[in-house]
């Protein structure tokens, strides 16, 4: 068993989560839902930002967005919540429901491994690697 410390696992999991979400969605999912223009590179955002650490790596809770949208809604959390409830209501309420059942601790090794498998599966489904 690899004995990494949590910080290293967290960095690795953040990296894998972001890569997976950007590859899966491929574009800013907020485009056209508001009057804010898409500017900048693609980033991974969270439908529900706060919560247990496990929510941070739940790919159902991930959404790709351009830097401009990500930055704007990070500074306007209430507008973000309203937008998510309106446009992504099914996922929003599903995540909210599951949130209560999530464990408070995180199995870092298992989380990193699961994310790496997801990225690998997605990558092999493309003819050319997009990133
Ligand atoms: Zn955008």
Q: If you measure from the C-alpha of residue 113 to the centroid of ligand 1, how many angstroms do you get, rounded to a whole number?
A: 30
Output the CA torsion 19→24→27→29 (10° steps).
Answer: -110
At 80 the pLDDT is 97
Can you give the residue ranges of every domain in the chain?
6-111
Q: Which residue has the higher pLDDT, 23 or 105?
A: 23
At 37 the pLDDT is 98
What digits encode the pLDDT tens for the residues 2-53?
Answer: 555 788 888 999 999 999 999 999 999 999 999 999 999 999 999 998 666 7
Q: If you measure from the C-alpha of residue 2 to the centroid of ligand 1, how many angstroms do you get, rounded to a whole number?
A: 38
Q: Are 43 and 66 in contact (CB under 8 A)?
A: yes
Q: Are 48 and 92 in contact (CB under 8 A)?
A: yes
Q: Which residue has the higher pLDDT, 91 or 99?
A: 91
Question: What residue spans of the chain are helical by DSSP H?
Answer: 6-25, 53-56, 67-74, 77-87, 89-99, 108-124
What digits encode the pLDDT tens for the residues 66-92?
Answer: 999 999 999 999 999 999 999 999 999
Q: If you measure from the C-alpha of residue 24 to the centroid of ligand 1, how many angstroms do you get, rounded to a whole number?
A: 16
Q: If you measure from the C-alpha of residue 45 to the centroid of ligand 1, how many angstroms do you get, rounded to a whole number?
A: 11
Please give the structure tokens belonging to residue 66.
């351009």
């Amino acid at each position: 068993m690899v004995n990494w410390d949590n910080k290293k696992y967290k960095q690795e999991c953040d990296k894998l989560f972001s890569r997976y979400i950007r590859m899966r969605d491929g574009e800013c999912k907020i485009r056209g839902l508001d009057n804010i223009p898409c500017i900048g590179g693609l980033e991974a955002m969270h439908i529900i930002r706060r919560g247990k650490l496990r929510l941070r790596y739940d790919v159902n809770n991930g959404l790709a967005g351009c830097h401009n949208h990500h930055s704007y809604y990070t500074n306007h959390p209430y507008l973000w919540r309203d937008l998510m409830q309106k446009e992504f209501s099914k996922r929003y309420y599903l995540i909210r429901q599951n949130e209560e059942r999530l464990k408070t601790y995180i199995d870092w090794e298992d989380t990193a491994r699961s994310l790496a498998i997801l990225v690998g599966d997605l990558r092999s489904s493309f003819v050319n690697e997009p990133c």
